[in-house]
Amino acid sequence: MNRIALDFGPVQIYWYSIFILLGLLAGAFVVYKEANRRGIDEEFLTNLIFNTLVFGFIGARLYYVLFNLSYYLQNPIEILEIWNGGLAIHGGIFAGLLVIIIYCKKHNVDVLRMLDILVVGLFIGQAIGRWGNFFNGEAYGGIATFQELSQQGIPVFIIRGMYILGEYREPTFFYESIWCFGGFLAMLIIRRYPYLKKGQLSGFYLVWYGIARLIIEGMRSDSLMIGSFKMAQIVSSLFIITGIILFFYNIKKSTKKDPKLYTHDAIKKESSITYLKVSKH
């Protein structure tokens, strides 16, 4: 599998970088479209997304480096070579969430409402970004035969790309990508439900992705470990618990007049006290 998409001599563009960029663009498009429909201040949203992405990338890389610290202490320059892979989504989520909370609090914005919009874009971004792992030959599972993979209906080009270290491997990146795309489609439908509460889309994301990663991580053979435990499975378990709590957090009343609804009309009514009008400094 050729990792390089374009070769300009001293400058090379990797497929990994391309798919990360495509994922970011797709996610941003989905977020901006929903934000525009809800009248959210564009300058506020642009600044929020920019800061979240910058610190999210730093968090994703730092998270990965810390779990491979002995290697990077001997090869410190490689810490900057993110085109070789090594962006841990959980690290990016934690860092990005911290930025979102701080920035929203600073501008008197409802954090849960903002997260409900952002997680939809995050899902499609993850679904696309995972394909960067395919070209980098990472995020794979245990040994399998060509026939076994073919019987699962996996496209031949993916199977051939999963020939790693002299053996065919389970394409766990592919499983996760499909699951994330399914979650994205599900959220597009769910957010149209008239009595959807704020925080429930975020809760759905945590549960849906948490379950998938908990299962898929058990299949992976290149996991980040803490002792004898796979760190992603620990985090995924926490995601599921937190998601369930979020899903039921505001589920007290289900009326159209309930200010805790996610719906368009409810948000319009709260425009003066939530995130729809952000003062410019």
Cα 2 to Cα 19, 31, 135, 278, distances in angstroms: 14, 32, 7, 46
Per domain, the residue ranges of the chain are 4-256
DSSP category for residue 84:
G
User: Could you tell me how far CA 127 lies from the centroid of its own chain?
Assistant: 8
Stated pTM of the model: 0.88
Q: What is the pLDDT of residues 34-53, one digit of tens each?
A: 998 888 889 999 999 999 99
- pLDDT, tens only, 71-104: 999 999 999 988 888 899 999 999 999 999 999 9
Per-residue confidence band for 278, with pLDDT thresholds at 50, 70 and 90: very low
